[in-house]
Structure 1
């Protein structure tokens, strides 16, 4: 299945904390090969970003370690 077809049937999910933000946040979906799709809940019709497993893991590690805290 090509990535565009995979994105159409992907199991999109968002953080439970998005409810306190009127549901406006990012959604993520696991894809084949460990890739991850990312899309804006306010514009789900726009093309999502797709990142590799390595990029996703680095982002999650950085978030857990406070690298993106303001």
Structure 2
């Protein structure tokens, strides 16, 4: 998948020295892309908008809390 046009954004809550940051690109048609902010040239994940929405809803609901 070509992500060269991706516009990557990091949460304002992730600013500073936090080592656990991801960046999200939502400007691509039909795809939400995610990458590790410490390794921008490394692997990326791609989600459909509906899968991303379900994931975010699960986060907000605490479904992934360990």
Scaled by the length of structure 1, what TM-score is found?
Answer: 0.78
Whichever structure has more helix as a proportion of its residues is: 1
Whichever structure has more strand as a proportion of its residues is: 2
The unaligned stretches of length 5 or more in structure 2 are none
Please give the root-mean-square deviation of Cα atoms over the aligned residues, in Å.
Answer: 1.5
Aligned structure 1 segments of 4 or more residues deviating by more than 3 angstroms: none
Scaled by the length of structure 2, what TM-score is found?
Answer: 0.82
Measured after TM superposition, the shift of residue 39 of structure 1 is: 0.2
Aligned in 2, Cα 1:44/1:32: closer, same or farther, shift over 3 Å? same
1:28 matched residue in structure 2: 24
Number of matched pairs = 64
Measured after TM superposition, the shift of residue 61 of structure 1 is: 0.8
